[in-house]
Structure 1
Amino acid sequence: MRELGIVGAIWGKGIVITTIADEWLERPKDLIKRHFVSFAPNELWCSDIAYVKTRAGWAYVAFIIDVFSKMIVGWKVANSLKSDLATDALAQAMAQRPDTEDLIHHSDRGVQCLSVAFSTTLLAAGIRPSVGTTGDSYDNALA
């Protein structure tokens, strides 16, 4: 098998990559540097996407958490990872908490939160984007 370059199947738990980073995208700086501290509502939001296995297949849940209250202020469930998943969760958060002046939105480097639609929504609301590093759970630990 080695001579032919054939590798056997690997069973069990392997490494699962959940953040799909696009290395070519220009990305915002990390404005919070793992300091998940907020002294008032709507100063810092953190977001992420969770993968949930169901009988019908995979479901994806995008959520946004207000760091001060630790409350989920926006969320969306879908059966695909298209960029509107994160954008719809953001729209719900902004509808629930419309005062977004001086707000920082922090996420991992997933392409959904770096998409044109998501970035445009942040810019239009005056929200400053912040992203951590890829594959580092501590950079988005609250979410």
Structure 2
Amino acid sequence: MSSYYKWKKRSISKKALKKNKLKQKIKTLYFEFKQRYGSPRITAELQALGYRISRVTVAKYMKELGLKSKLSKKFKVTTNSKHNYLIAENVLDRDFKATRISQKWVSDITYIQTKDGFLYLTTIIDLYDRKLIGWSLSNTMSADDTSLAAFRMAIKNRPIEKGLIFHSDQGVQYATKKFTNILASYGVIRSMSRKGNCWDNAVAESFFKSLKTELIYRNKLIFKKQMESEIFQYIEIWYNRKRRHSSLNYKTIEEFNNQNKIYKNVA
């Protein structure tokens, strides 16, 4: 065999070996992150590890391997907007960008089915870094157990800055006097979505979509105690620490905040 063909054969073998190693790494990451990542986040993870690879190539290899991120399903709205409390204007007006922490917070409530009944998850997200700074998992839909409990956690984790906008839907948990009085005592500006318009609170809705896609729908029905543990792990260990967020240019929240060096003593 001529030296040219020997060289060509060796070259093809090296390329094939490199491709196989890369595909194996992609497969490892895919299952390491519990099948939650599609090609954009797998690409970001590889690049963070020092690989020089494009999203197109990753998508191609994932297709060859038969790897897909979990698909989403629709879920029902849980908040009740049929009440006589005062509704706030839509001050946020779908402006989901924030230039500093505690400038804009968004909140929402969803239900989670378990073997022994429903749990209700209330979340509060800071739009600056998309961190879930307050949350509550409860057996009831009362304001004490939902909006108030989540808000108490949020103000422990982050200081309230002057002019903070707090946005939610028109649910009674956010409109009741007890909750609105607490917001007023901190000088918080209330904002509410238009009735039945989920796009006015798209970031909060997006979190629930991710949660239900990446955790709830992919598991069999479990009991409340186990679900409480799963939700804690998802929020505090996965979402707030490890997950790469498309809104942060596929950085983790910690990487984003370290890059911007915006705070040291804020959770």
Please indicate the TM-score interval, normalised by the length of the shorter structure: 0.7 to 0.9
Deviation of 1:57 after TM superposition, in Å, equals 0.5
Question: Which of 128, 140, 152 does residue 91 from structure 1 map onto?
Answer: 152
One-letter amino acid matched to 2:151: L
Report the counterpart of residue 95 of structure 2 in structure 1.
35
Deviation of 1:16 after TM superposition, in Å, equals 4.2
Distance 1:40 1:116 in 2: 29
Report the counterpart of residue 9 of structure 1 in structure 2.
none
Report the counterpart of residue 4 of structure 1 in structure 2.
none
Closer, same or farther in 2 for the Cα pair 1:63/1:100, shift >3 Å?
same
Deviation of 1:137 after TM superposition, in Å, equals 1.1
Alignment of 1:1-143 (within 5 A): 16-84=76-144, 85-143=146-204
Query: TM-score w.r.t. structure 1 length?
Result: 0.85
Secondary structure in structure 1 of the residue aligned to 2:173? coil
Deviation of 1:50 after TM superposition, in Å, equals 1.4
Deviation of 1:18 after TM superposition, in Å, equals 2.2
Bigger Rg, structure 1 or 2: 2
Distance 2:189 2:96 in 1: 15
Secondary structure in structure 2 of the residue aligned to 1:36? coil
Distance 1:118 1:142 in 2: 22
Distance 1:92 1:65 in 2: 11
Distance 1:35 1:99 in 2: 19
Structure 2, unpaired ranges of 5+: 1-74, 205-267
Structure 1's consecutive aligned runs of 4 or more residues displaced over 4 angstroms after TM superposition are none
Deviation of 1:128 after TM superposition, in Å, equals 0.6
C-alpha contact (below 8 Å) 2:77/2:110 kept by paired residues: no
Query: Could you say which structure has the higher strand fraction?
Result: 1
Deviations 1:47-94 (A, max 9, x none): 000110011100001110000110001001101100111111001101
Deviations 1:84-134 (A, max 9, x none): 111110011011112332100000001001111110110111111100112
Greater alpha carbon shift after TM alignment, 17-26 vs 41-50: 17-26
How high is the sequence identity, in percent, across the aligned residues?
31
RMSD across aligned positions (CA): 1.4
Query: Could you say which structure has the higher helix fraction?
Result: 2
C-alpha contact (below 8 Å) 2:122/2:150 kept by paired residues: yes
Distance 1:135 1:18 in 2: 12
Query: TM-score w.r.t. structure 2 length?
Result: 0.47
Greater alpha carbon shift after TM alignment, 16-25 vs 132-141: 16-25
